Amino acid sequence: MTLYLQFLIDAILLSGIYALMSLGLSLSLGVTRILNFTHGEAVMLAAYGAFWPFFLFGTDPLLALPVIIVLAFLAGAGLFRFFLQDMIKVPHFNQILLTFGIALVLQNIAVILWHGDLRSATPDYALEAIDLGVAFIPVGRLIGFGLAVVLSGALFVWLRYTFAGRAVRALAEHRDAAALMGIDILKTYRLSFGISTALAAASGVILSMISPISPFLGLSALIKSIEIIVLGGIGSLVGTILGALILGVAETAVAYFVPDGSGWAPGVGFSLLFLILILRPRGVRGQAVEI
Amino acid sequence: MISAAWLAVSVAGGAARAEEPIKIGAAYELSGHFVSFGAAGKRGVELALEAFHGKVAGKPVEVVFKDNRSDAQTAASTMNELIQDKIKYLVGPASSVSIAASIPAWRQAKPIWVASGATTAIEEQIGQEPNLYHIYPYTYDYQRATAAALKAILPPGAPIAVIYADDNYGRASLKSVQKYVTEAGLKIVAEELIRPGSSDLNPTLTKIRVARPQALINLVQAADLITLTKQIQIARLKVPYLVSGGDVGSPEWQQSVGDAQEGWIGVTPFALGAKRIGDKKRADIFPPQDEWEKRFEKKFGAPPNWNDAAHYTAAAMLLLALDEADGDNPEKVSAALNSMDVQTPMGRGRFEKINKTLHQSFSDPLVFQRQGGHNVVIYPKDAATGPAKPRS
């Protein structure tokens, strides 16, 4: 009983963090049709953005979170405005090369500034757990899960009930029709990129507390996010959440119930991906947009 | 007139050759999974070069750094590049994986190699090679010391659990743990494998909890150890003694895990704050440990860890040998290394034949425990500064 309950807790909490990490990428890809390779670096930079104030001034990462989210939003919107806006209609390969190049530059800047040493923020609550007797809930991951629920809930509400949100959905569905309806395409793209980067940054803040960070964190975050959005269905936010849940549960299940399973859990993602792409090539939820 | 011109060219060419730097190859993990080790390697080499003011025997020294990306294949190709560039003196890499991968390429020309890493044994492959100088305890030295320390703390037959990484270090260390822990009269009740880079280790810890060990030996390094330490703390794993390797002594690990470090036992040839005396003849290169730590902190803004000390020592011993050999003469450099006997931040630096390694130095590490934010040496007894305490 203990084992199964702990497994369930770990799987759900991990899924929440995965969802937070990948929702933004799904949004930006779904709206702009650009696969943003700087997404992982946003996670990395936000993690450092949370770490350094903690290390230097004792600032709690959760207090730094709102500031980091706002800065990330502006950075994401700025990235689109100054680097990608003129690249909307070029071949996807060129877009990927550009964002990949920017990602490499950001990574290298991080290496120059902060070297390769591993860091981690250690606020007291990040090492605590809620003891249920038969199982425990890690507080750091619980906060990550809670943040994922709040931010994804806010995102869905915004997309459904605000004009800007509906404009984003319209643009994702049919660009030309959205333009004909008077929607400012470029402004909406910038908004999407900003929100995408802000969501990535939120996950970076959580990661700074629960795992070691380095300038090379971004690549693994990006690969995981791509796995999830392909699993769930490209461009579908609900699909992304489902994909995160499937991946989180599968990885945790393998780690718990397969002998030496912790040794194989990361490979689960790719195995699942192959399986889903064979059985349902458009992802679990179905591909929401055509790239 | 032609003779004068020819003479002028010869003199100019001679002068140019006289200024040609002595090159030392330094392939390190400057990115990738072991970037923390490689970064320490680079720091150690840079500080050593600074101690010599960039010159040995009046000749400039150039260190050729290469990034092997913590990847075995890249490590082999970077070693190959250094060999193709005809570099005669090498330090690094820092990780066992990279050193093992570099061996085939090294064999092409066998330059003098002061290997300041490779806790996993490379003895079977190149231990007998006269041009290899190994500066580091092997993993079996670490595990021998660990087992001896645990034997002194725990009753006979005490249950021990092991978590090991699915890499060169973890798998090789496991064999040594099995041997020495059994010889110490203790009983291994659980062995759990984790994959490097795993983010969720609760499943492993749940299995360990069921085994109820008195000590948990963690054969993982770098980022994996940070993740494991934090998750052990969160899971409130009630194991009296938590043991790992040199990472426990590194400020990087300590900062990253915070209060979770309390009670962890580590093994290291270099303990921050230990009172090692310097070398009387070359105090400029090997000052007393506290002075060396200050020098390091002044340059890099943070205290050194055992990796910094190891790579500094390796580079400094090589530079010293070059200095004593009066420059670029591999045979004389080798002779200088063979006869070298210096007091370093890692202890006595002297190469001798130990087991299957022809030139081995620093094979007796200290076992210490983190208590109240400080290193307390608990083994061997003659170096101990306090008793081991079980975690509460």
- What is the least distance, in Å, from the CA of A9 to any CA of chain B? 10
Residues in B whose CB is inside 8 Å of some CB of A read 30-32, 35-36, 38-39, 166, 192-195, 197-204, 206, 222-223, 226-227, 230-231, 233-236, 252-253, 255-260
> CB of A269 within 8 Å of any CB in chain B?
no
Q: Which of B39, B192, B193 is facing A117, going by the closest CB pair?
A: B39
Residue A8: predicted pLDDT:
94
Contact A262 B194 (CB under 8 A): yes
- What is the least distance, in Å, from the CA of B182 to any CA of chain A? 22
Lowest mean pLDDT among A36-45, A52-61, A87-96, A261-270: A261-270
Retrieve residue B383's tokens. Answer: 């170096």
Q: Which residue of A has its CA nearest to B301?
A: A114
Across the 392 residues of chain B, what is the mean pLDDT of every consecutive 10-residue run? 52 55 96 88 96 95 96 95 96 90 93 83 79 89 94 96 90 93 96 85 89 96 92 94 92 92 93 84 94 95 91 97 95 96 91 90 90 91 88 86
Out of 1.10.860, 1.10.8, 1.10.4160, 1.10.3470, which CATH number does the structure's domain A2-279 have? 1.10.3470
Residue B68: predicted pLDDT:
95
Residues in chain A with CB shorter than 8 Å from the CB of B222 are 118
The distance from CA A20 to its chain's CA centroid, rounded to whole angstroms, is: 5
CA gap B89, B331 in Å, rounded: 11
Residue B134: predicted pLDDT:
92
Report the DSSP pairing between strands B241-243 and B215-219: parallel
Q: Please, what is the Cα angle at B267 between B134 and B343, to 5 degrees?
A: 50
Whole-model pTM: value is 0.78
Query: pLDDT tier at A1 (50, 70, 90 boundaries)?
Result: low
Residue B32: predicted pLDDT:
85
Mean pLDDT of chain A: 90
Contact B36 A140 (CB under 8 A): no
Contact A136 B258 (CB under 8 A): no
Q: What are phi and psi of B128, to 5 degrees?
A: -85, -5
CB B138 within 8 A of CB B362: no
Q: Please, what is the Cα angle at A123 between A118 and A128, to 5 degrees?
A: 105
Domains and CATH numbers, chain B: 11-136+273-361 (3.40.50.2300), 140-268+366-383 (3.40.50.2300)
CA gap B318, B332 in Å, rounded: 12
Q: Which residue of B has its CA nearest to A264?
A: B195
CA gap B248, B177 in Å, rounded: 18
Q: Which residue of A has its CA nearest to B247?
A: A118
Q: Which of B36, B201, B202 is facing A117, going by the closest CB pair?
A: B36
Strand intervals (E) in chain B: 22-28, 55-56, 59-67, 89-91, 112-115, 132-135, 159-165, 187-194, 215-219, 241-243, 264-268, 341-344, 347-350, 352-354, 357-361, 366-371, 374-379
> CB of A113 within 8 Å of any CB in chain B?
no
The answer to whether residue A154 scores a pLDDT higher than 90 is yes
CA gap B162, B110 in Å, rounded: 37
Pick the residue of A262, A268, A270, A271 with the most B CBs within 10 A to test the interface with B by mutation: A262
> CB of A129 within 8 Å of any CB in chain B?
yes
pLDDT tens-digit profile of A201-229?
Answer: 999 999 999 989 999 999 989 999 999 99
Residues in chain B with CB shorter than 8 Å from the CB of A262 are 192-195, 198, 200-201, 203-204
Lowest mean pLDDT among A20-24, A46-50, B204-208, B217-221: B204-208
Mean pLDDT of A13-18: 94
Residues in chain A with CB shorter than 8 Å from the CB of B201 are 262
Strand intervals (E) in chain A: 129-131, 136-138
Contact A255 B200 (CB under 8 A): yes
Q: What is the dihedral of CA A99, A102, A104, A106, to 10 degrees?
A: -130
Residue B295: predicted pLDDT:
96
Q: Which of A3, A216, A260 is facing B35, going by the closest CB pair?
A: A216
Residues in chain B with CB shorter than 8 Å from the CB of A6 are 202, 206
Q: Which residue of B has its CA nearest to A115?
A: B39
Pick the residue of A118, A141, A207, A247 with the most B CBs within 10 A to test the interface with B by mutation: A118
> CB of A4 within 8 Å of any CB in chain B?
no
Cβ neighbours, 10 Å, residue A161: 9
Q: Which residue of A has its CA nearest to B209?
A: A3
Query: pLDDT tier at A182 (50, 70, 90 boundaries)?
Result: confident
CA-based end-to-end distance of chain A = 45
- What is the least distance, in Å, from the CA of B36 to any CA of chain A? 5
Strand intervals (E) in B8-127: 22-28, 55-56, 59-67, 89-91, 112-115
Please identify among residues 10-69 of chain A the ones whose CB lies closer than 8 Å to any CB of chain B: 10, 14, 55
Task: State yes or no: ipTM above 0.95.
Answer: no
Q: Which of A3, A212, A261 is facing B256, going by the closest CB pair?
A: A212
Lowest mean pLDDT among A170-184, A230-244, B119-133, B305-319: B119-133
